[in-house]
């Protein structure tokens, strides 16, 4: 292929401009009056030049110092909106897990959030109406996605858009790029190697899409690639012009190769399909239409100059409309388009297509005033703008409302004086086999990983124990809710069918609580009482997944409503006793707890603990755990995952299985105490739902998602695990081997981009950023690779909305999330149950902190189960993946075997 077809100086940079100048568009339009009379009604002023724009080394989402304090570069966003009018984008989502990274970028660059529409939620008639009659959009962006443009189910309406919307600027990313080639006759074929989460240096021809972006080897223009398919450059028709390609035949890792101690294995066995041969086509444009495509992902956190590409597309859009109609001066008066996000948008759009007026749940007058004055969209009322979240009906706000008061006492430096959190828990909650108790246990606090622990048991008048089980119908596409059993403090039990599911119930319950923020002023943590428990993996059917193939043996969610609890600050040893109640009098529990805490001695209950452990260790049952799948079957499943990845069905699949052992009646609290001793973790937990004969002993090192009282969301995904070394020197080599592993970097980067997407659905434009990327953290038995993603939540989004947007954690599914979960359901032979779900709290004031349930022993009806797995990527070796899965079970399995 001759890549010099379009030199930087060529007029082909804007080949359609001459057509615009010389052609009577009324002769070319299918409905000329619509486009000429209605669309060309506004002048989009030139984007103000930003001298710093071309200096970014990588995506601005990885610039925590620039974002610190103002979060989100809010000032830059506001200044941009004041200087220019807004460009309105229709963003087609191909069921990808990176679409909302594009959404975030376009929100900042365009000055207005795009409208997100999935590829099968609109008919061509709907699209035509909004593009050509309502003139609602200035351009279209087609997202990445799983599958192939040759499959109608994968690409939806995108091919029609590319074929019929020849007069509207369109940018296709990855799958959208392939669709642009395919719709004009190019062949889409398998790449010589699937490339996912790896980088390439890019050369380009200098066309407008790459304005102010360097080109070629060592230029600093590196991009992230997630694809298994490519456009065959030899099949490009004359209408399509190549504009970018890889500058070498080698894919790169993000951190490169360590210069001193670690040399990556580049053998054919480790990289069985290493990239060989010619360069790969990375970008195309149409010769006469304003249509562009890029094979790489400009929205990735590790792509250099990614934001500049989107800025350039905005400028292409503006220049296109100016050339089309010089008197493009009048503003088009369409209401706040971003409120049409799916799924609610579908019904709204259909109403318009049937001749009825669009009814958007926003004060259009207020929005239009803000639009005309250049007011930031941050300041516009956003109620009900987020179509991916169901609004809870609170039409009778006084029915069921609870006015809660918080009372608390602080005991300075007490924890160290009484032997720490373990002794406190045993003294106050360890009796009667610790029935109906909880302990969110930061048992590993070094390096600031965690600071606070929370513990409690059956408490005051507000205490409840809730168990939720999905109905049998929830295993099908009907998602028919489930049954909630609730026991109150007096022992009264009520069963209710929740048609809309558990998360809607929890959201409504939290919204019904009223409180005074002054009650918790002075407390250094974010949990003051409320719901504490777990959500099982199968609740994915309430978060976008169509169905569950396997039914969980354990309840799908169990929570206490905790009104009496103790918090421990491990930083300085302070202990807090807290009591949540209705009414004005101070509850007696708080007074009693105050008297007991000051009398506790460091030696409390030590003799009882030793006796309990000794008695239980008399057991003669030493048979090991049995895996649900044999080594051979698990390796075969890994190979199937690799086939799916090769075919473009997924970028990464987190394949799991379960190990099980019958243990009968044991002191499960004693087992947990032993586990926390040999494998301390920052997000550890003990939960005992005695009514369900269910205990959970968790030593998780991974945070799923946290929301603090300032509205900051944080995720800390783990991807990449290696065993500790036997000596200090060997241990350091293991740590560096993980740090510079190309495979583990690719795994981590894919999940970081996925979590950025999930946070991007509920966070303010420009706010999502990566404060730590691919740090290695060391624990008792393993090193892990951890990243941290943060963002500022939209003010009107609730805590449960945030969880729904991201559950289950992407590190346990893969990407794209929905397609990956479908594939995993087909491969895994049983439900994951609690494993891969989340344990944590929802405070009554809408803060929460949830972990990822890994490194966990679930004890249910006399059986202990341990879930484990690993991310399968294109670079995975099946045997190595099996060994990594076994490694992750080592600490909890050892705890059980030593304890019995």
Please pick, among 85, 134, 201, 299, the residue that the annotation labels catalytic: 299
Is pLDDT of 242 > 60? yes
- For the question of residue 174 being annotated catalytic, the response is yes
pLDDT higher than threshold 70 for residue 392: no
Residues 145 and 234 in one domain: yes
What was the pLDDT predicted at 264?
A: 38
Q: How high is the pLDDT of residue 639?
A: 97
Q: Is residue 866 in some structural domain?
A: no
| 3-class secondary-structure state, position 393 | coil
- Mean pLDDT, residues 363-390 taken together: 37
Confidence bin at 900 (pLDDT 50/70/90): confident
Which residue, 426, 345, 438, is CA-closest to 385?
345
The structural domain count of the chain equals: 2
Q: Report the pLDDT averaged over residues 617-642.
A: 85
Per-residue 3-state assignment (H helix, E strand, C coil) for 713-739: EEEECEEEEEECCCCHHHHHHHHHHHH
Could you tell me the two tokens for 846?
């809408």
Residues whose CB is less than 8 angstroms from the CB of residue 291 and which lie 6 or more positions away in sequence, other chains included:
162, 166, 169, 170, 171, 172, 180, 285
Look at the block and give the residue holding tokens 């951890």.
Answer: 786
Q: Indicate whether 289 and 179 sit together in one domain.
A: yes
pLDDT 10s digits, 8-47: 323 333 333 333 322 232 322 233 222 222 222 222 222 2
Asked whether residue 301 is domain-assigned, the answer is: yes
Task: Measure the CA angle with vertex 877, ends 144 and 626; round to 5°.
Answer: 110
Is-contact 505 535, C-beta < 8 A?
no
Annotated catalytic residue, options 80, 204, 297, 674: 297
Residue where one domain finishes, among candidates 569, 601, 633: 601
Predicted pLDDT at 58: 45
Residue 504 pLDDT > 80: yes
Q: Are residues 320 and 409 in the same domain?
A: no
Range of the domain at 183: 89-254+277-324
860 is catalytic: no
Task: Classify residue 55: in a domain, yes or no.
Answer: no
Q: Which CATH number characterizes residue 196's domain?
A: 3.40.50.880
| Claim to verify: residue 313 and residue 181 sit in the same structural domain | yes
Nearest to 811 by CA among 696, 683, 708: 683
What's the confidence (pLDDT) of residue 252? 84
In this structure, the answer to whether residues 145 and 282 fall within a common structural domain is yes
Same domain, 103 and 194: yes
Instruction: Give me the CATH number covering residue 514.
Output: 3.60.120.10
Tokens standing for 142?
Answer: 């087609």
C-alpha 589/C-alpha 461 separation (Å) is: 11
Same domain, 474 and 597: yes
Radius of gyration in angstroms for the set of CA atoms belonging to the chain, rounded to a whole number: 28
Task: Tell me the per-residue pLDDT of 824-848, one tens digit each, with 9 for 90 and over.
Answer: 999 999 999 999 999 999 999 999 9
Quick: pLDDT tens for 800-821: 999 999 999 999 999 999 999 9
Between 118-132, 170-184, 338-352, 698-712, the lowest mean confidence (pLDDT) is in 338-352
What backbone torsions phi and psi does residue 704 show, to the nearest 5 degrees?
A: -85, -65
Quick one: 429 and 546 in the same domain?
Answer: yes
433 and 310 housed in the same domain: no
Residue 61: per-residue pLDDT: 55
| Highest mean pLDDT: which range of 21-25, 219-223, 258-262 | 219-223
Same domain, 550 and 418: yes
The answer to whether position 465 is within a domain reads yes
pLDDT (tens digit per residue) in 66-111: 333 322 333 333 333 333 479 999 999 999 999 999 999 999 999 9
**Residue that finishes a domain, picked among 545, 574, 601:** 601
Domain boundary among 546, 566, 601: 601
Distance, CA of 514 to chain centre: 30
Indicate the DSSP class of residue 537.
G
More confident residue, 733 or 256: 733
- Residues of the chain with pLDDT > 90: what percent? 68
Structure tokens at 77: 């966003």
pLDDT band at 255 (very low <50, low <70, confident <90, very high): confident
753-803 pLDDT tens trace: 999 999 999 999 999 999 999 999 998 888 999 999 999 999 999 999 999
Q: In the predicted model, what is the mean pLDDT of residues 520-531?
A: 96
pLDDT(331) > 90: no
The CB-side HSE value for 722 (13 A sphere, CA atoms) comes to 21
**Longest CA pairwise span in the chain (Å):** 94
Are 187 and 308 in contact by the 8 Å Cβ rule? The answer is no
Q: Which of 174, 339, 558, 698 is catalytic?
A: 174
- Shared-domain flag, residues 429 and 570: yes
* Residue 194 sits in the same domain as residue 310: yes
Band the pLDDT of 583: cuts 50, 70, 90.
confident
Q: The tokens of 118 are what?
A: 């999935």
- Reported as a pLDDT band with limits 50, 70 and 90, residue 475 is low
* Catalytic residue status for 299: yes
Whether residue 234 is predicted with pLDDT greater than 80 in this model: the reply is yes
Q: How far apart are CA 100 and CA 106, in angstroms?
A: 9
pLDDT value of residue 62: 53
């Amino acid at each position: 292929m001759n890549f010099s077809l379009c030199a930087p100086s060529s007029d082909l940079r804007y080949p359609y401009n001459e057509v615009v100048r010389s052609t009577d568009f009324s002769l070319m339009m299918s409905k000329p009056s619509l486009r000429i009379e209605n669309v060309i009604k506004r002048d989009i002023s030139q984007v103000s030049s930003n001298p710093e724009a071309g200096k970014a080394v990588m995506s601005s989402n990885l610039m925590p110092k620039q974002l610190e304090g103002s979060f989100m570069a809010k000032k830059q966003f506001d200044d941009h909106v004041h200087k220019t009018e807004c460009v309105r984008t229709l963003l087609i989502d191909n069921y990808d897990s990176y679409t909302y990274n594009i959404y975030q970028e376009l929100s900042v660059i365009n000055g207005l959030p795009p409208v997100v529409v999935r590829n099968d939620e609109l008919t061509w008639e709907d699209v035509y109406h909004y593009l050509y009659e309502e003139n609602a959009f200035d351009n279209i962006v087609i997202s990445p996605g799983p599958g192939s443009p040759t499959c109608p189910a994968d690409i939806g309406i995108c091919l029609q858009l590319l074929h019929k919307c020849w007069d509207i600027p369109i940018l296709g990313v990855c799958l959208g790029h392939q669709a642009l080639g395919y719709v004009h006759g190019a062949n889409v074929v398998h790449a010589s190697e699937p490339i996912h989460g790896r980088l390439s240096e890019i050369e380009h021809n200098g066309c407008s899409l790459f304005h102010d972006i360097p080109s070629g080897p060592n230029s600093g223009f590196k991009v992230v690639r997630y694809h298994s398919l490519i456009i065959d450059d030899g099949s490009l028709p004359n209408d399509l012009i190549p504009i970018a390609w890889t500058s070498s035949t080698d894919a790169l890792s993000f951190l490169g190769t360590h210069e001193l101690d670690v040399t990556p294995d580049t053998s054919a066995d480790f990289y069985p399909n290493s990239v060989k041969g010619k360069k790969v086509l990375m970008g195309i444009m149409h010769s006469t239409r304003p249509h562009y495509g890029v094979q790489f992902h400009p929205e990735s956190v590790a792509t250099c100059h990614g934001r500049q590409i989107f800025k350039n597309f905005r400028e292409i859009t503006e220049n296109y409309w100016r050339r089309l109609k010089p008197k493009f001066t009048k503003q088009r008066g369409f209401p706040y388009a971003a409120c049409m996000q799916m799924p609610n948008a579908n019904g709204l759009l259909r109403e318009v297509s049937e001749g009825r007026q669009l009814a958007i749940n926003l004060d259009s007058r207020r929005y239009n005033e803000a639009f005309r004055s250049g007011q930031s969209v941050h300041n516009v009322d956003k109620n009900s703008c987020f179509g991916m979240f169901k609004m809870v009906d609170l039409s009778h706000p006084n029915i069921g409302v609870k006015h809660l008061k918080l009372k608390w006492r602080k005991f300075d430096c007490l924890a160290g004086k009484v032997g720490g959190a373990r002794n406190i828990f045993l003294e106050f909650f360890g009796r009667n086999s610790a029935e109906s108790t909880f302990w969110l246990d930061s048992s590993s606090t070094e390096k600031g990983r965690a600071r606070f622990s929370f513990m409690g048991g059956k408490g005051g008048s507000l205490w409840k124990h809730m168990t939720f089980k999905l109905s049998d119908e929830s295993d099908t596409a009907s998602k028919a809710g489930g049954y909630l059993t609730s026991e109150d403090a007096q022992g009264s039990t009520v069963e209710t069918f929740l048609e809309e599911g558990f998360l809607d119930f929890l959201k409504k319950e939290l919204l019904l609580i009223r409180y005074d923020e002054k009650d918790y002023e002075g407390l250094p943590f974010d949990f003051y009482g409320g719901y504490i428990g777990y959500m099982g993996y199968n609740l994915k059917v309430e978060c976008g997944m169509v169905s569950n193939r396997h039914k969980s043996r354990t309840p799908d969610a169990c929570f206490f409503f905790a009104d009496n609890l103790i918090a421990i600050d491990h930083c300085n040893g302070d202990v807090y006793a807290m009591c949540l109640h209705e009414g004005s009098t101070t509850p007696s529990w708080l007074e009693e707890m105050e008297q007991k805490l000051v009398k506790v001695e460091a030696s409390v209950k030590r003799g009882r603990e030793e006796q309990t452990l000794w008695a239980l260790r008399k057991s003669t049952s030493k048979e090991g755990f049995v895996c649900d799948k044999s080594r051979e079957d698990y390796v075969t499943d890994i190979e199937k995952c690799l086939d799916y990845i090769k075919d473009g069905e997924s970028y990464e699949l987190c394949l799991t299985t379960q190990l099980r052992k019958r243990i009968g009646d044991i002191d499960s609290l004693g087992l947990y105490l032993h586990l926390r001793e040999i494998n301390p973790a920052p997000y550890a937990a003990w939960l005992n739902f005695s009514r369900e004969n269910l205990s959970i002993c968790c030593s998780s090192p991974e945070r799923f998602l946290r929301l603090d009282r300032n509205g900051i969301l944080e995720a800390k995904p783990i991807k990449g695990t290696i065993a500790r070394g036997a000596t200090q020197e060997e241990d350091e080599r293991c740590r560096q081997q993980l740090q510079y592993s190309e495979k583990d970097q690719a795994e981590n980067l894919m999940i970081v981009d996925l979590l950025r997407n999930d946070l991007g659905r509920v966070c303010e434009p420009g706010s999502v950023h990566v404060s730590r990327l691919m740090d290695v953290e060391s624990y008792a038995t393993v090193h892990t690779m951890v990243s941290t993603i943060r963002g500022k939540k939209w003010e009107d989004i609730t805590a449960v909305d945030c969880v729904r947007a991201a559950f289950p954690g992407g590190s346990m599914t893969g990407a794209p999330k929905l397609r990956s979960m479908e594939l995993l359901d087909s491969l895994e032979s049983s439900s994951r149950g609690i494993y891969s779900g989340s344990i944590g709290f929802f405070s009554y004031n809408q803060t929460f902190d949830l972990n990822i349930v890994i490194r966990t022993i679930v004890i249910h009806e006399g059986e202990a189960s341990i879930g484990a797995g690993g991310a399968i990527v294109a670079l995975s070796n099946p045997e190595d993946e099996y060994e990594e899965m076994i490694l992750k079970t080592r600490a909890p399995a050892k705890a059980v075997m030593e304890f019995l």
